[in-house]
Amino acid sequence: MAVKLNALISDSYIDISQYRDQHFRGYRYEQEKLLKQRHTAIIIPPMCNLVHEMFSKSGDVKRIIIGLDKVKKTACGFCFVEYYTRADAEHAMRFVNGTRLDDRIIRTDWDAGFKEGRQYGRGKSGGQVTFLLDRRSLS
């Protein structure tokens, strides 16, 4: 009987940001994308282990696919994180996005859906497209 107040119940952290995958037409909501800066080489554990630990805080992680440099086939700073439920993915958008992992700010955004081939960075040199990182100024 009571009305749901749109002015009140704001949940802006789970909104889709301006980045849109230019190659994909439709959307599924079970996935997110993690964007990170290029890192210099230090002895660190595999990125997927760190990512798994961090993103498990908001729910059970189904799988992680590491983004690879197309040419060198090494990790180049982004990955896909897939949850079993949308609710868990929403929690990640609210509580993991914008916090630090390995002392760098994590940026998450909804992803349309992982398809084979999309794990390769599409910059001309095979690395991560840098313009995406410029748009996200670090807080």
Partner 1 sequence: MSRRRHSDDSDGGQAHKRRRTSEPIEIEDRLESLICRVGEKSTSSLESNLEGLAGVLEADLPNYKNKILRILCSVARLLPEKLTVYTTLVGLLNARNYNFGGEFVEAMIRQLKETLKNNLYNEAVYLVRFLSDLVNCHVIAAPSMVAMFENFVSVTQEEDVPQVRSDWFVYVVLSCLPWVGKELYEKKDVEMDRLLSQVEGYLKRRLKTHVPMLQVWTAEKPHPQEEYLDCLWAQIQKLKKDRWQERHVLRPYIAFDSVLCEALQHNLPPFTPPGHMPDAQYPMPQVVFRMFDYTDAPEGPVMPGSHSVERFVIEENLHCIIKTHWRERKTCAAQLLSYPGKNKIPLNYHIVEVIFGELFQLPCPPHLDVMYTTLLIELCKLQPGSLPQVLAQATEMLYMRLDTMNTICIDRLINWFSHHLSNFQFRWSWDDWSDCLAVDLDKPKPKFVKEVLEKSMRLSYHQRMVDIVPATFSALVPAEPIFIYKYADESASSLPGYPVSITVGNAIKNRASNEEILTILKDVPNPNQEDDDDEGESFNPLKIDVFLQTLLHLAAKSFSHSFSALAKFHEILKALTDSDEGKLHMLKVVYEAWRNHPQMIAVLVDKLIRTQVVDCAAVANWLFSQDMAHEFTRLFTWEILHSTIRKMNKHVQKIQKELEEAKDKLEKQQHKKKDSGDDEEMDKNSEDEEGQLEEQIERLQEKVESAQSEQKNLFLVIFQRFIMLLTEHLVRCETGSVDVSTPWYKNCIDRLQQIFLMVKPSHTHFFFYCSITALLR
User: Which spans of this chain sit near partner 1 (rule: CB under 8 A)?
Assistant: 1-14, 43-46, 48-50, 52-54, 57-58, 60, 63-66, 91, 94-96, 98-103
Shortest spacing between CB 135 and partner 1, in angstroms = 19
CA atoms within 13 A on the CB side of 102: 19
Residue from 90, 74, 82, 70 nearest 31 by CA: 82
Looking at the Cβ atoms of 92 and 112, the one nearer to partner 1 is 92
Q: What letter does residue 3 receive in the DSSP assignment? A: P
To partner 1, the closest distance from the beta carbon of 45 in angstroms equals: 5
- Triad 131, 134, 136: Cα angle to 5°: 120
Amino acid at 48: C
In whole angstroms, how close is the CB of 76 to partner 1 at the nearest point? 15
CB 61 within 8 A of CB 52: yes
Pick between residue 14 and residue 132 the one whose CB is nearest to partner 1.
14
Helix (H, G, I), strand (E, B) or coil at 33: strand
Amino acid residing at 100:
R
**Among residues 101 and 133, whose Cβ is nearest to partner 1?**
101
Nearest approach, Cβ of 113 to partner 1 (angstroms)?
19
Of 52 and 136, the one with the shorter C-beta distance to partner 1 is 52
